[in-house]
Amino acid sequence: MSLSSQPQLDTSPDVSDEIRHTTCYMCACRCGINVHMKNGKVKYIEGNKDHPVNKGVLCAKGSAGIMQHYSPARLKAPMKRVGPRGSGQFEEISWEEAMETAVSWLAPLRKEAPEKLAFFTGRDQSQSMTGWWAQAYGTPNYAAHGGFCSVNMAAAGIYTMGGAFWEFGAPDWEHTRLFMIFGVAEDHDSNPIKMGIGRLKERGAKIIGVNPIRSGYNAVADEWVGITPGTDGLFILAIIHELLKAGKVDLDYLVRYTNAPFLVNDDPESKDYGLFLRGRNNKPQVMDRKTGKPVAFDRKGVTPDLVKTHKAKGSTWRPVFQLLAEKYLSEENAAENVAGRCGVSADTIRRIAAELAHVAFEEEITIDQPWTDWKGQKHDKMIGRPVSFHAMRGISAHSNGFQTCRALHMLQILLGSVEVPGGFRFKPTYPKPVEAHPAPHCKVTPGAPLDGPHLGYPRGPEDLCLAEDGSAARIDKAFTWDNPLSAHGMMHMVISNAHAGDPYKIDTLFMYMANMSWNSSMNSAGVMQMLTDRDESGEYVIPRIIYSDAYSSEMVAYADLILPDTTYLERHDCISLLDRPICEADAVADSIRWPVVEPDRDVRCFQSVLIELGARLGLPGMVNEDGSPTYKDYADYIQNHERRPGVGPLAGFRGKDGTGKGRGEPNPNQIQAYIDNGGFWIDHIPPEAAYYKPWNAAYQDWAVERGLYDKPQPYLFQLYVEPLARFQRAARGHGDIQPPEHLRQHILENMEPLPSWRPPFEDTAVDTEEYPFHALTQRPAAMYHSWGSQNAWLRQIHGANPLYVSGEIFARYGFKDGDWAWVTSRHGRIKVPVVRMDALNANTVWTWNAIGKRAGAWALDEKAPEATRGFLLNHLISELLPPKKDGMRWSNSDPVTGQAAWFDLRVKIERADPGNGVSQPHAPTQKSPVGQGPDTIAYGGDLK
Amino acid sequence: MTNLPSATEKKLGLAIDLDTCVGCHACVISCKEWNTSNYGAPLSDVDAYGASPVGTFLNRVHTFEIKADNRPAQTLHFPKSCLHCEDAPCVTVCPTGASYKRTQDGIVLVNEDDCMGCGLCAWACPYGAREMDAEAGIMKKCTLCVDRIYNENIPEEDRVPSCVRTCPAGARHFGDFADPDSNVSRLSAERGGVELMAAQKTRPVNRYLPPRPKADVTGDGQIDIPNPFLEAKNQTAKGFLGWLDKALEKI
Amino acid sequence: MYPAPSVILFTSLSGIGFGLLAWLGTGHPAVTYLTAFTFFFLAYGLAVGGLLASVFHLGNKINAFKAFSQWRSSWLSREGIMAVASLLVMAPYAIGEIFFGQQWPLFGWLGAAGAVTTVFTTSMIYTQMQTVPRWNSPLTPVLFLLYALGGGALLAGQTGVAMLLLIALGLVQALNWYLGDGAFAAAGHTLETATGMAGLGRMRLLEPPHSSPNYLMKEMVFVVGRKHVRKLRMISMVLLVLLPVLILLLAPAAHVLVGIAVLSHLAGVFVARWLFFAQAEHVVGLYYDMR
Ligand SMILES: Nc1nc2c(c(=O)[nH]1)N[C@H]1C(S)=C(S)[C@@H](COP(=O)(O)OP(=O)(O)OC[C@H]3O[C@@H](n4cnc5c(=O)[nH]c(N)nc54)[C@H](O)[C@@H]3O)O[C@H]1N2
Ligand SMILES: Nc1nc2c(c(=O)[nH]1)N[C@H]1C(S)=C(S)[C@@H](COP(=O)(O)OP(=O)(O)OC[C@H]3O[C@@H](n4cnc5c(=O)[nH]c(N)nc54)[C@H](O)[C@@H]3O)O[C@H]1N2
Ligand code: SF4
Ligand code: SF4
Ligand code: SF4
Ligand code: SF4
Ligand code: SF4
Ligand SMILES: [Mo]
């Protein structure tokens, strides 16, 4: 047979009949996707090359979208519960019956006591819409998932510099030369971070990973700092100590762009101790080096001092920077003094500090791009310090997370590396200082809307959400003295507070897209108990639960009324500037989803359902004067709703002719314009506005034009956060609004206006000799929380999760491959398989998050590995701290923001008899409301 | 066709950068997704929602740990698909002639119309790059996306393998190793691209770019960066303020 | 390697079948009519039955006939051709003995040579696998030939030569086990060479590519416990060689006992063949850290 007889291949087969551009929702990263359609089915999903977020790449989850879309776990129709809660027994009902049932529950509540509805949503991307609905309904009890997610990061960022890491900013990947990444496994910016890291590698920039676990990004980092969990604050402050000692801080930057020169009352006797010296117009004052007199910080031509102490009004006033230098130069922050606790050697700390200083100040970069600052001063170049940072839940999901995040921002700012070439840059709609955000609102009027938006950033005690008697106004106790700056609410406390009737009882719990009986709760077994508990009269303690999910998740089984959602390929959505948009540091952008496939089941887009529900309830904004619905559905809302005149959910293609950018009347063809444009809209920031955004006149003007703000709002970075000092002031007994006695000390200690480190609560609350190890979770790149397990492709990668145990622990307890262990915390005990890992902090164990499943959920076989060997660490984590001496139990959260302290967990470990090889605890099997998936799939055979 | 061509016009293959691969499995799923509905029989998943799902994948990512003395252990993500060997033993063992190496570009393929599913080629492959599909009973392997790279129905810039196009970190590079100036040849030369199991004499085309040396040190006292930058000018806060005062003069 | 029953059956049965044919073809014993029929029925039955069993192993049987096409490079193809050719060439010889009571030596010797070659080609399917160092040895063909000829001799009632061949088989098998146990290490393949990452340190698998098993693991990463191996080797040695030789030595004429010797040998072959596969370490196991 001659070689020329090789088969003739068709190397140009037809790929698809049509490509539809929409937005991925296999996670919250919001990448653009090209959905290839063949014979009316989804054939292939690839990244959209033009899309600002992913520029063509796609992660494993995104590529597995086909299996999610055709998942056997999809809910098929509205359902009402017919068996006991948790059993999974349901009966399908019509949408009419579902809507009528919901209205019959919600309408009377609204008339009498709207707060008896608690409406909490998960990781959806329509919070501006759901929040608007909840406000119109009038309940104060609304939030999304941020409280258990990463509010420490968000709040610390916004209070400090008007924007956070999270997905609200990014390193300047094209210019940075040294990148430090703290506590990140995946983050919301999954693809952009990977692309960025790839870019840094290409450019030969150095990456330092700070993480107890060396996997993922830390595996490719050039240097790994295997820090002890919960001690990043110490590590960062030690770096700051070393930098200050060496004078390696960017003074010019500090003077220009931060409140370093602001004068602070340093007189402990004064009632205004800790507050800024304010002049006329209430403007903070700085010391002018030329005149030696205090003047308004923004006076033209002022050269502020950072050194001089000022005496006035009978008190001593000192510049922020002086306080800062004093605080961090103190020996307790010296590398030697923190090394042991951090598990990082003093030499390493110093070397990293030296590297940061070296790159920041010796490898300064300049871009030939003139710009003008907010004071009108012209600069002929953009100067940058090419060190950049990123961080996420590894530092924020601790009870000292807020201050640790603040410390990191302080480090960035001292190095002059925020919003400069090579540094960290904000993505519009950020930067946006606290002043540009609302304060929280909670005033209830039966039958009427709430007095304002639920969530926001308190400026001081007056913004707390307290009832007349000082008790919590909200069911989650957000914005109380326990957690004053809980800017995202505290969803993780809702079920346990509602169950306890503390601060009050509710009637209906309405949730959307959050698997609260399982992986998004601490103490999952306890939560399942609370959801099924009955009172003396035999009624459920939480009387009614409405839930919207798209799939047969664990939470579905615990609800009374199910509103089945579509998959992400079957509905309209907007990824809005009013919410969490897809902007890049160089551009403003937003995007849509649209039904690229029509649903083949009796399911409806949840937001459309909510709009119809609003109309049936007659909520303001949702009905016309004649009582008819204002919006036909979500798509209609997206196109026609205006939040402020000319500003609506979508910023692109506004106005009748579709040319409006950011501002303009509603455009009846807007959604089509998005579809025609690839599913998104983008508008680039002009080059002169690309950096220094908070202080750049061109940026400020551009942002106003685009409707991001209504007037320019330049601001300074807050090294010293005065709102925190206001809470401390109250704790010292000043002011009308006073904390309860037992919290005074707590507030003083935790609300320090300059960041400081305190041990995680759990470390002080439990015997760390008895529970010597830290236990963590990480997100696997190829799995999204619980919702990936129904995915036939992804579940083969992560169908079960072992506990990874450090080599040291493994050896100390004589573990062998294939062994099992009992892992015990102060709260619970689990039995799990273990695997040795050496690239791990010596005192740490960890597992992949949310792989364990309840038998019977997700249309999986009850013997599925997810349900047998898979497990949740959540059983070990309590939503409450151990009782204090006074019997009080505080939530297991950051004392400032209420962020759930997932990673404070301490455990002990012992070898276990593997027994039947089933992890413990093992929740009883539920009935599957959707049956079980097919045996074999061979997708795509008919799509050639 | 089971004889190997003595030479191929091109040597198309992948250079996989282990210094950049974050082990995200994007390439694994993208490969599955493309190939299940393109070249040949679909890639089935048996017991897909059951107790022991087993599916066919043409590319899988292993994670290894490396321990050396005096440095922290290192994690290595290692994607593996067909290396399109020049002396591909999988081809010569094939009794039906289904397996062959293309003369034009060196891609090793299975002509599914001829395959009888004996599994011998999988035995012959040292790298585990061939998987028999349980549903179809036919041998599957990486096609180097032969139905993409020349496909005139897709935009030119997309004519690369699905795994390469999708890799978020840019760790996968596609090109012609026969051309010393190609992207992959240059990368491999610069970064010391390695062959897997050279002793098997399969002469793989694909190259792996090893991780760059890590900067990790565990021993103390190894400050390798110009430390004068941390020369302590100001041991005390007081001294610091003095320095500050002077420094501010200069601004 | 996964010890698939079909492949064990195939190699064991067809091996003995072709072995028996080889003896028959050379006139050991020279039989006619009904006796010849019985012998050839047995020999063809074993050889063809084995070949059929191998077809069961195929994922896509309709293409089985294409296996004859690649004789220039593929040992499996050669084996197929040789098997069919030998069976065909042997047919006239068998017909002569059964129906005409005649020996036509040309066919007999040709057929016998073909039968031996067939066994050799079978053995080369395994011997050529560089990926399985235990197989990749000149002993493999020797072993296969001894299995075939020894077993064949036993069936053919060639007591003396059978004893000698079985003893030789026992020795070579023992040597093969001994050398085989060191073969993987001797080949020098390690996780470091498999990943090309020599010099970075000691490597181990942290996380397999999928938490689910896959074809490769099932097919090529089959592992048997050492303890079982030792026990099974002893059992197979007893059944394969010891018991048959003892019987042949002590009661060469006792039909029942010789029958037992044959069955014992067959059972020994199955056990040894199971071990042949089950113990074979494929280099791909390195990637799963299971070598
Ligand atoms: N131990 C531990 N626990 C943790 C964490 C941790 O790090 N460690 N992390 C915490 C964090 S940060 C978070 S954000 C939470 C996340 O936890 P959850 O918010 O509960 O996340 P998911 O598991 O993704 O579940 C969301 C639900 O949304 C449903 N869903 C998916 N798509 C759709 C859709 O299109 N429409 C509707 N209506 N529903 C849909 C899914 O079926 C699922 O039931 O977990 C928290 N829990
Ligand atoms: N693929 C995928 N992507 C996701 C998600 C998902 O489920 N899957 N979930 C999304 C959601 S809701 C969120 S909130 C984000 C979260 O994104 P990440 O913050 O990346 O999420 P985690 O997996 O919780 O990662 C926390 C990391 O911090 C480390 N860590 C823990 N404690 C400490 C510490 O004290 N110090 C330091 N330095 N590190 C520590 C852990 O080892 C881990 O690597 O990811 C989002 N992206
Ligand atoms: S990161 Fe992955 S799952 Fe998330 S939106 Fe992008 S492609 Fe989809
Ligand atoms: S997609 Fe790229 S980074 Fe991810 S596992 Fe594959 S090669 Fe590695
Ligand atoms: S990697 Fe394996 S399948 Fe691919 S050509 Fe080489 S031997 Fe054949
Ligand atoms: S499985 Fe198919 S391709 Fe592989 S050797 Fe057998 S016939 Fe050839
Ligand atoms: S080249 Fe194509 S077939 Fe090969 S691994 Fe990549 S995506 Fe899969
Ligand atoms: Mo989250």
Q: Which two tokens stand for residue A150?
A: 């990463």
CA distance linking residue A545 with residue B113, whole number of Å: 56
To the nearest whole angstrom, how far is the Cα of A45 from the nearest Cα of chain B? Answer: 8
Q: Hey, how many other C-beta atoms are within 10 angstroms of the C-beta on A438?
A: 12
Chains interfacing with C (3 or more CB pairs < 8 Å): A, B
CA distance linking residue A753 with residue A755, whole number of Å: 6
- Going from N- to C-terminal start, the domains of chain B cover 12-218
A837 near C CB under 8 A? yes
Four-CA torsion A406, A411, A413, A419, nearest 10 degrees? -90
Residue B228 scores a pLDDT above 90: no
To the nearest whole angstrom, how far is the Cα of A172 from the nearest Cα of chain B? Answer: 16
CA distances A901 to A563, A775, A874, C179, Å, are 31, 12, 12, 59
Q: What is the pLDDT of residues B167-217, one digit of tens each?
A: 999 999 999 999 999 999 999 999 999 999 999 999 999 999 999 999 876
Query: Residue C290 — very low, low, confident or very high, per pLDDT cuts 50/70/90?
Result: confident
| A939, A890 contact by CB (below 8 A) | no
Q: What is the pLDDT of residues A20-66, one digit of tens each?
A: 999 999 999 999 999 999 999 999 999 999 999 999 999 999 999 99
Name the residue of A393, A789, A848 whose CB sits within 8 Å of the most ligand 2 atoms, as the mutation to test its pocket: A393
pLDDT over 70 for what percent of chain C? 100
Q: What is the pLDDT of residues B1-47, one digit of tens each?
A: 578 999 999 999 999 999 999 999 999 999 999 999 999 999 999 99
A224 near B CB under 8 A? yes
Which whole number is the average pLDDT over C131-150? 97
Chains interfacing with B (3 or more CB pairs < 8 Å): A, C
Which CATH architecture fits B12-218? 2-Layer Sandwich (3.30)
Q: Which two tokens stand for residue A724?
A: 């925190």
Smallest CA-to-CA distance from A588 within A673, A661, A667 is with: A661
To the nearest whole angstrom, how far is the Cα of B157 from the nearest Cα of chain C? Answer: 30
CA distance linking residue A857 with residue A551, whole number of Å: 9
| A577, A70 contact by CB (below 8 A) | no
The predicted pLDDT at position A517 comes to: 96
Nearest CA to ligand 7 atom 7: B31
Q: What are phi and psi of A320, to 5 degrees?
A: -50, -45
**pLDDT, block means (10 residues), chain A with 944 residues:** 72 96 96 97 97 97 98 98 98 98 98 98 91 98 93 97 92 98 96 98 97 98 97 98 94 96 96 95 94 92 92 94 96 96 95 95 96 94 97 98 98 98 96 95 98 98 96 97 97 96 97 96 96 96 98 98 98 95 95 97 98 98 97 98 96 97 97 98 97 97 94 96 98 96 95 97 95 98 97 98 98 96 97 98 98 98 97 96 83 96 98 96 96 97 92
Percent helix, strand and coil across chain C, each rounded to 5? Answer: 75, 0, 25
| A287, A294 contact by CB (below 8 A) | yes
Arithmetic mean of pLDDT over chain B: 93
To the nearest whole angstrom, how far is the Cα of C125 from the nearest Cα of chain B? Answer: 8
Q: Tell me the β-bridge partners of A821.
A: A832, A911
Cis peptide before A431 (omega within 30 of 0): yes
Smallest CA-to-CA distance from A499 within A523, A520, A483, A515 is with: A523
Task: Tell me the one-letter amino acid at A666.
Answer: P
Three-state secondary structure call for residue A814: coil
Name the residue of B21, B80, B81 whose CB sits within 8 Å of the most ligand 7 atoms, as the mutation to test its pocket: B81
Residues of B whose CB is below 8 A from C287: 62, 78, 80, 127-128
Smallest CA-to-CA distance from A218 within A473, A390, A36 is with: A390
Nearest CA to ligand 4 atom 8: B21
| A786, A853 contact by CB (below 8 A) | yes
Q: What is the largest CA-CA distance in chain C?
A: 74
- Predicted TM-score of the model (pTM): 0.97
- Going from N- to C-terminal start, the domains of chain C cover 5-287
Residues of C whose CB is below 8 A from B200: 130-131, 189, 283
Four-CA torsion A161, A165, A166, A168, nearest 10 degrees? 70
Nearest-Cα residue of chain A relative to residue C207: A835
Its sign, for the CA torsion A406, A412, A416, A422, is: negative
Task: Tell me the one-letter amino acid at A590.
Answer: D
Q: How far apart are the first and last CA of chain C?
A: 12
Q: Which two tokens stand for residue A653?
A: 């293609």
The predicted pLDDT at position B217 comes to: 61
Task: Tell me the one-letter amino acid at B164.
Answer: V
CA distances A98 to A17, A81, A84, Å, are 38, 11, 19
C207 near B CB under 8 A? yes
CA distance linking residue A648 with residue A670, whole number of Å: 11
The predicted pLDDT at position A888 comes to: 78
CA distance linking residue B136 with residue B131, whole number of Å: 11
Question: Which candidate from B1, B49, B224 shows the least CB-CB separation from A860?
Answer: B49
Q: A650 CA distance to ligand 2 centroid (A)?
A: 30
Which whole number is the average pLDDT over B133-149? 98
Residue C127 scores a pLDDT above 90: yes
Question: Which candidate from A4, A223, A781 shows the least CB-CB separation from B25?
Answer: A781
The predicted pLDDT at position A509 comes to: 98
CA distance linking residue A505 with residue A517, whole number of Å: 19
B110 lines ligand 6 (CB under 6 A): yes
Smallest CA-to-CA distance from A842 within A169, A228, A222, A219 is with: A228
The predicted pLDDT at position B238 comes to: 81
**Interface contact A797-C210, CB threshold 8 A:** yes
Smallest CA-to-CA distance from A397 within A914, A910, A877, A913 is with: A877
B109 lines ligand 4 (CB under 6 A): no
Half-sphere exposure of A613 (CA within 13 A, CB side): 28
Percent helix, strand and coil across chain A, each rounded to 5? Answer: 30, 20, 50
B120 lines ligand 6 (CB under 6 A): yes
CA distances A512 to A118, A122, A127, A563, A619, Å, are 11, 6, 11, 9, 19
| A621, A136 contact by CB (below 8 A) | yes
Smallest CA-to-CA distance from C20 within C102, C95, C96, C118 is with: C118
The predicted pLDDT at position B233 comes to: 66
Question: Which candidate from B30, B165, B168 shows the least CB-CB separation from A195?
Answer: B168
Q: DSSP letters of A555-590? A: GGGG-SEEEEPPPTTSS-EEE-TTSS---BTTEEEE
What is the Rg, in whole angstroms, of the alpha carbon atoms belonging to chain B? Answer: 25
Q: Convert A860-875 into a string of H (helix), E (strand) and C (coil).
A: CCCCCHHHHCCCCHHH
Q: Which domains does chain A have, with CATH numbers?
A: 94-149+447-562 (3.40.50.740), 164-431 (3.40.228.10), 765-912 (2.40.40.20)
Q: DSSP letters of A29-98? A: T--EEEEEEETTEEEEEEE-TT-TTTTT---HHHHTHHHHHT-TTB--S-EEE-S-TTS--EEE--HHHH
Q: What are phi and psi of A379, to 5 degrees?
A: -125, 135
Residue B224 scores a pLDDT above 90: no
CB pairs under 8 A between B and C: 217
Q: DSSP letters of A316-345? A: EEEEHHHHHHHHHHSGGGSHHHHHHHHTS-
The predicted pLDDT at position B97 comes to: 96
| A121, A546 contact by CB (below 8 A) | no
CA distance linking residue A522 with residue C281, whole number of Å: 46
Q: Convert A619-651 into a string of H (helix), E (strand) and C (coil).
A: CCCCECCCCCECCCCHHHHHHHCCCECCECCCC
Going through chain C in order, the beta strands assigned E by DSSP cover: 202-207
Atom of ligand 7 nearest to the CA of B35: 3
Its sign, for the CA torsion A398, A399, A402, A403, is: negative
| Tally of helices (H runs) and strands (E runs) in chain C | 11, 1
CB pairs under 8 A between A and C: 22
CA A766 to chain centre: 28
To the nearest whole angstrom, how far is the Cα of B231 from the nearest Cα of chain C? Answer: 35
ipTM of predicted assembly, 2 dp: 0.97
Nearest-Cα residue of chain B relative to residue A931: B49
Query: Residue B232 — very low, low, confident or very high, per pLDDT cuts 50/70/90?
Result: low
Nearest-Cα residue of chain A relative to residue C212: A796
Query: Residue B237 — very low, low, confident or very high, per pLDDT cuts 50/70/90?
Result: confident
Q: Hey, how many other C-beta atoms are within 10 angstroms of the C-beta on A447?
A: 10
C200 near B CB under 8 A? yes
- Residue with token string 């995202």: A488
Q: Which two tokens stand for residue A132?
A: 């608007």
The predicted pLDDT at position C227 comes to: 86
Q: Hey, how many other C-beta atoms are within 10 angstroms of the C-beta on C250?
A: 9
A693 near C CB under 8 A? no
Query: Residue B219 — very low, low, confident or very high, per pLDDT cuts 50/70/90?
Result: very low
CATH class of C5-287: mainly alpha
Residue B221 scores a pLDDT above 60: no
To the nearest whole angstrom, how far is the Cα of C229 from the nearest Cα of chain A? Answer: 21
CA distance linking residue A796 with residue A791, whole number of Å: 9
Q: Tell me the β-bridge partners of A288.
A: A304
Task: Tell me the one-letter amino acid at B250.
Answer: K
Task: Tell me the one-letter amino acid at C46.
Answer: L
Q: Convert C22-49 into a string of H (helix), E (strand) and C (coil).
A: HHHHCCCCCCCHHHHHHHHHHHHHHHHH
Identify the residue among C140, C284, C290 best suited for mutation to test binding to B, counting B beta carbons within 10 A and taking the highest.
C284
Q: What is the pLDDT of residues C195-204, one digit of tens each?
A: 999 889 999 9
Nearest-Cα residue of chain C relative to residue A800: C211
| A430, A694 contact by CB (below 8 A) | no
B61 lines ligand 4 (CB under 6 A): yes
Atom of ligand 1 nearest to the CA of A571: 35
Task: Tell me the one-letter amino acid at A809.
Answer: I
Q: Convert A128-157 into a string of H (helix), E (strand) and C (coil).
A: HHHHHHHHHHCCCCEECCHHHHCHHHHHHH
B18 lines ligand 4 (CB under 6 A): no
Q: C223 CA distance to ligand 7 centroid (A)?
A: 30
